[in-house]
Amino acid sequence: MKEWIITDQDIKGVHVGICDLNGIWRGKRLPYGDLKKLADMPVRMPLSATAVDIWGNDVVANAAFFECGERDGLCQPTGRAPIRIGSGKDAGVPLLPMWFTDDDGAPHPGDCRGALARVLEQFAKAGLKPAVGTELEFYLIDPDNPGLTPAICPQTGRPFASNSVLAIDDIDSIEAFLDDVYAICADNDVPAETTVSEGGTGQFEVTLGYSPDALKAADDTVFLKYILRRVARRHGMEACFMSKPFGRLSGSGFHTHFSLLDADGHNIFSNSDVVLRHAVGGLLAGLEESTLIFAPHLNSYRRFREDSLAPTTLTWGYGNRTAALRIPESPDSARRIEHRVSGADANPYMVLAAILGAALVGVKTKMEPDAPQDGKVDYSSDQRRLPATWQDAINAFEAGTILPSLFDPIMMDSYRLCKRQELAVFAGRMTEFEAETYRGTA
pLDDT for residue 83 is more than 70: yes
Question: How many whole angstroms separate alpha carbon 319 and alpha carbon 194?
Answer: 20
pLDDT, tens digit, 9 for 90 and up, residues 132-187: 999 999 999 999 988 899 999 888 888 888 887 877 888 888 999 999 999 999 99
Question: What is the percent of the chain with per-residue pLDDT over 70, rounded to a whole number?
Answer: 95
pLDDT for residue 38 is more than 80: no
Sign of CA dihedral 264, 265, 271, 274: positive
Question: How many whole angstroms separate alpha carbon 396 and alpha carbon 290?
Answer: 8
**Do 44 and 72 contact (CB within 8 A), yes or no?**
yes
Instruction: Give residue 90's pLDDT.
Output: 66
Longest dimension (CA), the chain: 70
pLDDT confidence band for 220 (50 / 70 / 90):
very high
Residues 213-228 have a mean pLDDT of 98
Residues 34-60 have a mean pLDDT of 85
Question: How many whole angstroms separate alpha carbon 215 and alpha carbon 353?
Answer: 9
Higher pLDDT, 382 or 95: 95
Q: What are phi and psi of 384, to 5 degrees?
A: -65, 145
Instruction: Give residue 72's pLDDT.
Output: 86
Sign of CA dihedral 416, 418, 422, 427: positive
pLDDT, tens digit, 9 for 90 and up, residues 334-354: 899 999 999 999 999 999 999
pLDDT, tens digit, 9 for 90 and up, residues 257-312: 999 999 999 999 987 789 999 999 999 999 999 999 999 999 999 999 887 788 99
Query: What is the 8-class DSSP label of residue 82?
Result: P
Phi-psi region of 255 (alpha: psi -120 to 50; beta: other; left: phi over 0): beta
pLDDT confidence band for 4 (50 / 70 / 90):
very low
Measured CA distances, 120 to 51, 127, 355 (Å): 22, 11, 11
Question: How many whole angstroms separate alpha carbon 110 and alpha carbon 308?
Answer: 35
Burial class of 395 by CB neighbour count within 10 A (0 to 12, 13 to 18, 19+): middle
HSE-CB at 239 with a 13 A cutoff on CA atoms is 24
pLDDT confidence band for 332 (50 / 70 / 90):
confident
Residues 102-107 have a mean pLDDT of 84
pLDDT for residue 67 is more than 70: no
- Among 156-160, 222-226, 321-325, 381-385, the least confident range: 381-385
Instruction: Give residue 1's pLDDT.
Output: 43
Instruction: Give residue 327's pLDDT.
Output: 95
Residues 115-119 have a mean pLDDT of 97
What ranges make up the beta strands (E) of 229-365? 238-240, 254-261, 316-318, 325-327, 337-339
198-207, 216-225, 241-250, 312-321 — most confident range: 216-225
Domains assigned to the chain: 3-108 (3.10.20.70), 121-407 (3.30.590.10)
Question: How many whole angstroms separate alpha carbon 109 and alpha carbon 360?
Answer: 20
Query: In the predicted model, what is the mean pLDDT of the chain?
Result: 91
Instruction: Please enumerate in sequence order all residues whose Cβ is within 8 A of that of 276, keeping only pairs 6 or more positions apart, or say none.
Output: 269, 327, 335, 337
pLDDT for residue 251 is more than 60: yes
DSSP 7-72: H-TT--EEEEEEE-TTS-EEEEEEEGGGGGGTTTS-EEEEGGGGG--TTS---TT-HHHHTTTS-E
Query: pTM for the whole thing?
Result: 0.94
pLDDT, tens digit, 9 for 90 and up, residues 185-196: 999 999 999 999
Instruction: Give residue 3's pLDDT.
Output: 39
Question: How many whole angstroms separate alpha carbon 120 and alpha carbon 126?
Answer: 10
Q: What are phi and psi of 181, to 5 degrees?
A: -60, -50
pLDDT confidence band for 69 (50 / 70 / 90):
low
